[in-house]
Structure 1
Amino acid sequence: MKAIRILVVEDETFVRMDAVEMLREAGFDILEAVNADEAIRLLALHSDIRLIFTDIDMAGSINGLELATIVQKRWPPIRIVSTSGHYKIQAGDLPAGARFFFKPYQPTQIIDAVHELINATWGEESH
């Protein structure tokens, strides 16, 4: 079975590298974007992306919350896991079903959330 594809969106290089490594080790196929603008371009090019793992505080024209809203409208089946070390999530900030984790997060928290969201949405095995 082909690995589930996840898009990691993070502007801090080392944080992105850690997230990519964590998800690859869990068996996922990963694409990377340095900001939400690049993420939207990749989402338009790759119809097999099933989940985005995005930071909220990013450089670029839109932040992770705005990215989540765009993803929900343009690609509703794609699930969203977001993270931030600074931003305090309020009710309604993220689309229904999205998950949020404060940095620093535990890798198992992210992996468990990814498995849960993908299995609930796609009814597929995680990898």
Structure 2
Amino acid sequence: MDTDKTVLIVDDDDMVLESIDLHLSATDGYQTVRAQGAAGALSHMQNAPGIDVIVADVILAGTINGIDLCRKAIEHYPAIAVVVITADTEVKCADIPARGVFLRKPFGGAQLLGAIDLALGNAGAVSA
């Protein structure tokens, strides 16, 4: 990658946040920001507009779930890439934003990086 991509990781589970953060931080080309829940994520997006990718769990505390959070992110930041993660077997690919990438937990580091790359490609195709 030519420049670092900033990834906003959104989950209610500290272990998931830490795991994804550690993996991406150890991978060249990524800077990470953690947000616990939708409210924290919205605050980060408003105060730090340089976010390139959002990786959000579907189930979040509060009134906004991860899918709605990703839709809001795309609405306000049309070039943002989105990866939706979940362990909920009821959630289907069709539930996420059209250009988003769906990743079911548990997943490995290579799967996460592949999903982020695909999401960045999808976002680039939309904003081009």
User: Under a length normalisation based on structure 1, what TM-score does the superposition of the two structures give?
Assistant: 0.86
Partner of 2:26: 25
Shift in CA distance, 10/91, structure 1 to aligned 2, threshold 3 Å: closer
Q: Larger RCO: Structure 1 or Structure 2 (Cα < 8 Å, ≥ 6 residues apart)?
A: 1
The number of aligned residues is: 123
SS of the residue corresponding to residue 49 of structure 1 reads coil
Shift in CA distance, 87/60, structure 1 to aligned 2, threshold 3 Å: farther
Percent identity between the two aligned chains: 23
Shift in CA distance, 12/103, structure 1 to aligned 2, threshold 3 Å: same
Is residue 98 from structure 1 mapped to residue 72 from structure 2 by the alignment? no
State how 1:68-87 maps to structure 2 within 5 Å: 68-87=70-89
Aligned mates of 1:120, 1:58 — CA distance in 2: 24
8 A contact 2:101–2:118 mirrored in 1: no
Q: CA RMSD in A?
A: 1.8
How far apart are residue 121 of structure 1 and its match?
3.9
User: Under a length normalisation based on structure 2, what TM-score does the superposition of the two structures give?
Assistant: 0.86
Runs of at least 5 residues in structure 1 that lack an aligned partner in the other structure:
none
Partner of 1:11: 12
Runs of at least 5 residues in structure 2 that lack an aligned partner in the other structure:
none
